[in-house]
Structure 1
């Protein structure tokens, strides 16, 4: 029997594991729906669940004609945007950690978010409109991704090991991120006071100005489909790093696919809501800690958990000192730091 076929048999999901995955994903899906419903009813003006369903019926029939329907339309759109951003960041974190084989990897580690920050802050500095800010952030992120790919092209071609030259790739990304950080500091130092607040809020991460859009969902679902198709190969590469190519894995193509997908996810998330930290770092670790390292479960579980987490964090951000709103990036950091430290403590005990 060929070695690759033998590996395929060893990696087949047993019936018990399939049932466990179905239970886990069903539970996370229920949590996702509950988080979106909670975001719709919580705020400076609370809605009961009866008012919520009446408002939903009003929206489906025609344009919102009541206060409850107007509130629901605003909150539901923001919650769905927040869910897509959170799921995008968590999925990008999973792919980055698999690509770099580094538990500290996150969507922003390679400097792609730095390119988005340069594009967005430059547009804010020169009085660009909202759609121009999003477009400039996306373009800046993808420009840095292409630059990084060009500089580290040889690292992606390696096929002898799934690890490749990950340290060199990481170092290249850190250097690019430092350069983007210098440009960001320069723009902040010369920005007038009237634009400084908007620039700082964008850098921290904020969902208050997001608009429901289809493109982030299309990117998320397309990359999720790719990641689920490649999950078995990612597992093999993780377990047999030095022999992955002999087990039938096209390591170079796999690493390139993970890089471009994680870069696309990062660009989509940052252009939608700014740099929101900790979601792409702690959610993959939390899911891995709870349900194991199998990427066939880890990938969809992280996406659902990341979306739910960001929706709940944004609900806290806009309601804890209502009517004033806090940047959601502050809330994710406040929650993320102790959660990550707790995870490290549990790992040490194990």
Structure 2
């Protein structure tokens, strides 16, 4: 069985298990029965309370967690491969902070609602995510060349700047708006509906198809931009396309879940250890593994202090912080060696 098939099977089992776990007892078999009933158009297969818990409350949340995890992990794999920096990540590079600021501005001002409707927040998140990435790349550039050794420091600077802007927006907002903005700071997929999953799904599907079709070019970037150019790769166009697509996936995830850190950092590292550096395998497997990781992180977040609930960003930070410190030490020792 291939790596993709194995992680897909694990994802299906994880999602079904997560739906059955919670304060209200739901049998594992009931989950599949409700899903089958809705897809076949047969209502009344179970009692209304169980049907509502599974179909209206838990399943949309679990599915959204899987989509967000896949988007963040896939984007992280692209950033790490393209920038040739194992510490690159949508959160660390400031893209998530920029996207969160854009989403907060959309909530605070309401600009664009008339024309964009339900797409207002994702569009603003994407624009500010791109702006954050542009700042990071410009700060990391010296003599016309992208300096990957200063990339992380540039990300920290940009993240601090957008964080300050986000604090300013919160200070200007009303109490109701502050509550709506706060979940982006903590990261949460609680009380989500099917509509949020529908918003992010096209970004993830089209984004992953695009980066996978460009996975051969991404592999050649490991040889260096000059070597990739000699092998027929349009370096500037390929880099721009991959960066924009990865930013788009990140922005879509942030627009519905907030700033959930370290998913795009941890997962590609672990999968690269298992499958190797070939992005034709690394990209889809990272996305599936990211989905599994966030499904279980969210399950832990809503059950560990039941009936209270932790923000999912707390769980990923508790796991990702020590992992990042370990990788940073390895990276520093490798460069000194």
TM-score, length-scaled by structure 1? 0.79
Q: Which residue of 1 aligns with 2:49?
A: 67
Contact preservation (8 Å) 2:17, 2:28: no
Answer with 223-232 or 260-269: which moved more: 223-232
Which of 166, 171, 180 is the matching residue for 2:162? 180
Which of 310, 314, 325 is the matching residue for 1:330? 314
Residue 135 of structure 1 pairs with residue 120 of structure 2: yes
1:214 alignment partner, SS class: helix
Please give the per-residue CA displacement for 1:233-284, whole angstroms capped at 9, x wherever unaligned.
1111203443211111111111011111111011101001000011011001
Residue 211 of structure 1 pairs with residue 196 of structure 2: no
Residue 91 of structure 1 pairs with residue 103 of structure 2: no
Distance 1:146 1:119, change over 3 A: closer
Q: Which residue of 2 aligns with 1:33?
A: 12
d(CA) in 1 for partners of 2:305, 2:324:
25
Which of 119, 124, 130 is the matching residue for 2:102? 119
d(CA) in 1 for partners of 2:249, 2:295:
18
Distance 1:178 1:50, change over 3 A: closer
d(CA) in 2 for partners of 1:343, 1:168:
16
**How large is the Cα RMSD of the aligned pairs?**
3.5
Give the alignment of 1:312-331 within 5 angstroms: 312-331=296-315
d(CA) in 2 for partners of 1:290, 1:197:
41
Q: Which residue of 2 aligns with 1:102?
A: 85
Q: Across the two proteins, how many residue pairs are aligned to each other?
A: 323
1:71 alignment partner, SS class: helix
Please give the per-residue CA displacement for 1:296-335, whole angstroms capped at 9, x wherever unaligned.
1110110000011001111111122222221111111122
Q: Is there any run of 5+ residues in structure 2 with no aligned partner, and where?
A: none
Distance 1:343 1:23, change over 3 A: farther
1:94 alignment partner, SS class: helix
Answer with 196-205 or 288-297: which moved more: 196-205
Contact preservation (8 Å) 1:96, 1:107: yes
Distance 1:266 1:114, change over 3 A: same
Q: Which residue of 1 aligns with 2:237?
A: 253
Answer with 48-57 or 323-332: which moved more: 48-57
d(CA) in 1 for partners of 2:108, 2:13:
39
Contact preservation (8 Å) 2:93, 2:136: no
Contact preservation (8 Å) 1:114, 1:141: no
Which of 254, 267, 280 is the matching residue for 2:251? 267
TM-score, length-scaled by structure 2? 0.82
- C-alpha deviation, 1:166, in angstroms: 4.8
- C-alpha deviation, 1:230, in angstroms: 1.2
d(CA) in 2 for partners of 1:218, 1:77:
16
Q: Is there any run of 5+ residues in structure 1 with no aligned partner, and where?
A: 1-21
Residue 23 of structure 1 pairs with residue 2 of structure 2: yes
Q: Which residue of 1 aligns with 2:181?
A: 199
Contact preservation (8 Å) 2:216, 2:279: yes
Q: Which residue of 2 aligns with 1:53?
A: 32
